[in-house]
Amino acid sequence: KSLINDSYPEVLLSAAVKPNLYIARERFLQEWDVWLAAGYVDWVVPMNYSPNMREFSRNISVINDHFTKKYRDKIIMGIAIYNQDPIDAAKKVKYSIDERFIGISVFSYNQMKRNSDYSILFDNINEK
């Protein structure tokens, strides 16, 4: 990170990470809580791609339990749309907004282009 900062101070370093901190650390050697706290990355995108709302919200609960606002402001929630219908995906977007994540990242854009229902739902999320 310091090499990047020295050469390109305007560049931000991010990482797409496994969403559950425990599984990320034990199975994938991703200590992304440490990476954020130590400043190794500027922000992370947990790939919270489960179509199951209970698992999705459980991953968010683990994040909420481990991070103060200082670090929560460096987390953008990743949500899949390739594996669920637009209504379920929109519920996860709304849930992430309600949980005060600073943003969302939708994967994948190709699916959104194929099915305009995703765009319509996402455009109307804040109106509900």
CA dist 30 → 17, 27, 68 (Å): 7, 8, 19
| Residue 128 predicted with pLDDT over 60 | no
For residue 34, give the amino acid letter.
V
Orientation angle between helical segments 116-124 and 86-98, nearest 10 degrees: 30
Q: Give the pLDDT of residue 126.
A: 57
pTM of the model: 0.88
Question: Does pLDDT of 124 surpass 70?
Answer: no
Residues 113-127 as b/e (b if ≥16 CB within 10 A, e otherwise) read eeeeebeebbeeeee
- Kindly report, residue by residue over 34-89, the tens digit of the pLDDT: 999 999 999 999 999 999 999 999 999 999 999 998 999 999 999 999 999 999 99
Question: Is it the case that residue 114 has pLDDT exceeding 60?
Answer: yes
- Using DSSP, state whether 47 is helix, strand or coil: strand
| Domains detected in the chain | 2-127 (3.20.20.80)
